[in-house]
Chain A
């Protein structure tokens, strides 16, 4: 076949292809399916090597000719489909999709449209995926990489440039099947060769369906013209059956671009770029394809990440400017792909205008506020220019701190390394210290605009790890947490992000609880949230998205088993597939050598530190005791010598055997990097349910991925406990215990020995306590507090705020319980309201009785808290009236009006917060008794 394609004339090839198509003798050949019902056929079709375009045209012509009439019907139906999409008529759209599927099977062109509709702003917000059935053939039984690449490129949570560059990279590096590679290269970068010529691309589309072949045949003339091969256009025209050509031209003559943009969601901030990413699904319209080609000609290599760029032709799309002012919008913009004027266009076009300007001599010397505005109105600048271009555009200006911050931020985005990160931190700290009184939120407010591009960038840059390393601004860890809370509050107010507000509260409460505890909290474990979340999104995001189509099945699955040991069931049952993905997440969380748990236990605990802390630092104390007793009680000195030797050996052995992630080599490792073990089943079950619910609730994966991270910390608690138990077992094993044996003849000496043993045991216990604390979760990332601790913190705060309040508190608690997660501050809030209420209405020095009872079921811990106080006799009547009214009246605006009764607010919490299940109140003679019922997931 290869020889036929390369050595025959087009005429001979046409005859041969016709023979292959018609002759019963050629039945053994695998032939493309013109109107396939599924995507399976593609994998059985080879992609032949490069051959003259004329030969490929002959092959397609022979195939299309007999199907011309049917193709015309298919084209008309696509026309109807397009009209209904543009008219935003879901019922008609659904009907058109169904009709097409029924009569003509599947095609990439129609499949892309269905995928595109999954990612319009409307479906992104509602999570509805009404066209899932038309995407399904591309997802099962195997996922088609061509559709995955398109879906990822339009996914609003993904970076278009990263997706484009990744898939192009894989295609060029032969990591994809040649047929997929050819189509993917054409989909993203139609003007670049990248190892697949036009004939192979036509062949690749022809393998999919007749419609896709015809669509590409209609795009070919523009490509040939740009390649200086206009002479071949006629042959292309001849390869398309006449009636197909006519129907195509009539059906796809014009498109209402504004209607298309509206259908895709023009309200988005980066809508011109979002629209651009969607356009492979709409390239049957000449003006759409022409627009794509003009963009590709102007900045295609830059979009592909090819630096130095092979050509500087951005000015062919939009004329360059000479000053920054010319590029800046002066009023409302029209972010349509039709609008190219820099002062009125969208961010994507303005970015191309900036690049055109940089290619043609730059935009002069923009001042720092102009630069800030320019970056606010463009996007991905550091990904679209080379380091040399960026340095030429933005030379160092040490006397302009805002400019320097923006410059270093761009350089860091261009090359994410430690040096660039450090330079950015230095510039940012200087700016915040010099201009904004050390308050990073003031900088956020300063750079914030309705676009919010620069402020959002800053907000996302300032992760906990990044803020921690602003060592000039934050000299203590508390200040880092304060800054983080303030930024979250800003975000919450700016974006109406309730989760951010909740986390800010949680951080502040944590700070308060630590002060109440007053202890040193040292953990040596950390998992960089940013890197971990990036890993989940990159490695498992696509699989999670696929499972989102089966989420109802997962949630309805009555099975509660959590075993992953059966590989067949794990590969087939959707619920177990999700569980397997979560298991992979936890394995990564534990085992990543750079940012995972294993990295921290290796570098911060196992190598030397455990031995140093437990043995080397303790050794002098033991040696002093040995010296003290070696003459007067030599048997005791020998006992200590022997003990010290055994202890050292055991500590070293523990480091070698146990302070590891469990593996074949380390079977005693205390960290078990899977959720498939009995101790983790409760948390794993909750994790599975909550994450499935979260995927169902929102197609945006960010929330689900954040939940995965939080649950990984809860799972880790099981491993951390195992590590702490191992440490405790070692301590118990080496508690100095002379038993009944006497080491001295004299009672006074024996007493001294006993005292020495007590002192050594006590010192050792303190050392072990420190080691135990190394194996705890970082409280910022995974906060927790015991109920008793929360009571004490509440009493402390109410006392501070109500100076005369000096009750006699009695806390009756049969069993304490740890509440874990960012939402336990709701419990704090509820308790605060009741105790504060007692401070307002009760006798200031009277009894305050707090009692709790605890019940647990399979999923939840149910906590009932009763707060009883004696009303102040002088104001009892008034207090009763106030309490009664608050308990029965309208809740109204109590949740937002801080001047209103706390009890109303608490009733509001009962309504709105899942964890607060009920509130009741009663009187008992002169006492008022409040009872709240809380419900927390078991962990």
Chain B
């Protein structure tokens, strides 16, 4: 878990929930390239993400879905692998009636919710029936193409 401020003022406050280093770096790179001034907090597990959501309000939350439950540490117990762990952030936001915008950036083409797998393009409408989180986009991340970058950029531009 880390928080750092970009050098310039009036930052766009972003929470990035991501456990894979390569994806975190690529998303951070995409954010920098988009040219926005940002404050970035990073949660690498569901537990950290929940803690960060509780401790601050964000302009945008970039959310991975498959996450470990807790941060892994030497000599510690194994965290549980959670293919839909990122949903906890949505549940927290909904419970707290928060309006933080969320964009889901996931590598898997489906998201499981309440025992059903939803394709990414239909997930938002299904989940909106029970969760009031402010999801502004769902993006399929594929490191080998740049489509996700343009999608993320478009969302950032729109939401800024």
Interface residues of A (CB under 8 A from B): 417-419, 422-423, 426, 464-465, 468-469, 471-472, 474-478, 480-481, 510-511, 514-526, 593-594, 599-600, 602-604, 607-609, 611-613, 616-617, 778-780
Contact = CB atoms under 8 A, between A and B. Distances in A.
Contact of A469 (B20, B88, B144): B88
B112 interface: yes
Interface in B115-160: 115, 117, 130-131, 141-144
Interface of B: 20-23, 25-26, 46-47, 50-51, 65-66, 68-83, 87-88, 91-92, 94-95, 107-109, 112-115, 117, 130-131, 141-144
Given A418-B87, A514-B76, A778-B78, A469 B69 contact: yes
A676 to B, nearest CB: 28
A603 B74 CA distance: 24
Contacts of A607: 107-109
B107 A417 contact: no
A520 B74 contact: yes
B143 A611 contact: yes
B14 to A, nearest CB: 21
Contacts of B95: 422-423, 426
B20 A612 contact: yes
Nearest to A423: B95
Contacts of A611: 143-144
Contact of A604 (B51, B83, B113): B83
B106 to A, nearest CB: 8
B87 to A, nearest CB: 6
Contacts of B107: 607-609
Given A418-B91, A616-B22, A476 B81 contact: no
Contact of B50 (A471, A522, A616): A471
A604 B86 CA distance: 12
B128 to A, nearest CB: 12
Contacts of B117: 593-594
A608 B78 CA distance: 22
Contact of B74 (A422, A476, A519, A604): A519
Contacts of A525: 81
| Secondary structure dominating the interface of B | loop
B82 to A, nearest CB: 8
A645 to B, nearest CB: 13
A603 to B, nearest CB: 4
A717 to B, nearest CB: 16
A612 B21 CA distance: 8
Given A423-B95, A514-B75, A612-B22, A468 B81 contact: no
A613 B22 CA distance: 7
A417 B130 contact: yes
Nearest to A603: B83
B52 to A, nearest CB: 11
Contact of A518 (B25, B74, B92): B74
Contact of B20 (A465, A477, A613): A613
A780 B83 contact: no
B103 to A, nearest CB: 17
A600 B143 contact: no
Given A593-B117, A612-B22, A419 B108 contact: no
Contacts of A480: 69-70, 77
A800 to B, nearest CB: 15
A418 B116 CA distance: 12
Contacts of B141: 608
Most B Cβ at <10 Å: residue of A426, A604, A616, A617: A604
A-B interface, 8 closest residue pairs, ranked by CB to CB distance from nearest = A608-B107, A612-B22, A603-B83, A477-B77, A616-B22, A422-B91, A477-B70, A617-B22
Most B Cβ at <10 Å: residue of A417, A426, A517, A594: A594
Contacts of B25: 617
B83 A477 contact: no
B69 A612 contact: no
B23 to A, nearest CB: 6
Nearest to A616: B22
Given A469-B69, A471-B46, A617-B22, A478 B91 contact: no
A15 to B, nearest CB: 58
A609 B88 CA distance: 21
B138 to A, nearest CB: 15
A600 B69 contact: no
A229 B150 CA distance: 74
B77 A481 contact: yes
Nearest to B54: A472
A519 B114 CA distance: 35
Contacts of A608: 20, 23, 107-108, 141-143
Contacts of A521: 72, 76-78
A42 B46 CA distance: 57
Contacts of A516: 75
A517 B80 contact: no
A556 to B, nearest CB: 41
26 contacts: A417-B114, A417-B130, A418-B131, A419-B94, A422-B95, A464-B80, A471-B69, A471-B88, A476-B70, A476-B77, A477-B77, A480-B69, A521-B76, A522-B78, A522-B79, A526-B81, A604-B81, A604-B83, A607-B107, A608-B20, A608-B142, A612-B143, A617-B21, A617-B22, A778-B81, A780-B77
A478 B21 contact: no
Contact of A510 (B77, B81, B143): B77
A594 B109 CA distance: 14
A515 B75 contact: yes
Nearest to A417: B114
A652 to B, nearest CB: 8
Nearest to B110: A603
B94 to A, nearest CB: 7
B70 A600 contact: no
Contact of B78 (A523, A602, A617): A523
A73 B92 CA distance: 69
Nearest to B116: A594
B80 A468 contact: yes
Contact of A609 (B20, B26, B79, B115): B20
B143 A520 contact: no
A520 B72 contact: yes
A418 B113 contact: yes
A516 B76 CA distance: 10
Most A Cβ at <10 Å: residue of B26, B78, B80: B78
A477 B23 contact: no
Contacts of B130: 417-419
B123 to A, nearest CB: 13
A616 B88 CA distance: 28
A604 to B, nearest CB: 5
A348 B94 CA distance: 37
Given A418-B114, A471-B51, A524 B94 contact: no
Contacts of A603: 65-66, 83, 108
A418 B113 CA distance: 8
A519 B74 CA distance: 5
A257 B68 CA distance: 56
A527 to B, nearest CB: 10
A469 B47 CA distance: 8
A255 B70 CA distance: 60
Given A476-B73, A477-B80, A613-B21, 10 more contacts: A418-B91, A419-B130, A422-B91, A422-B95, A471-B88, A519-B75, A593-B117, A603-B108, A609-B20, A778-B81
B76 A478 contact: yes
A886 B38 CA distance: 71
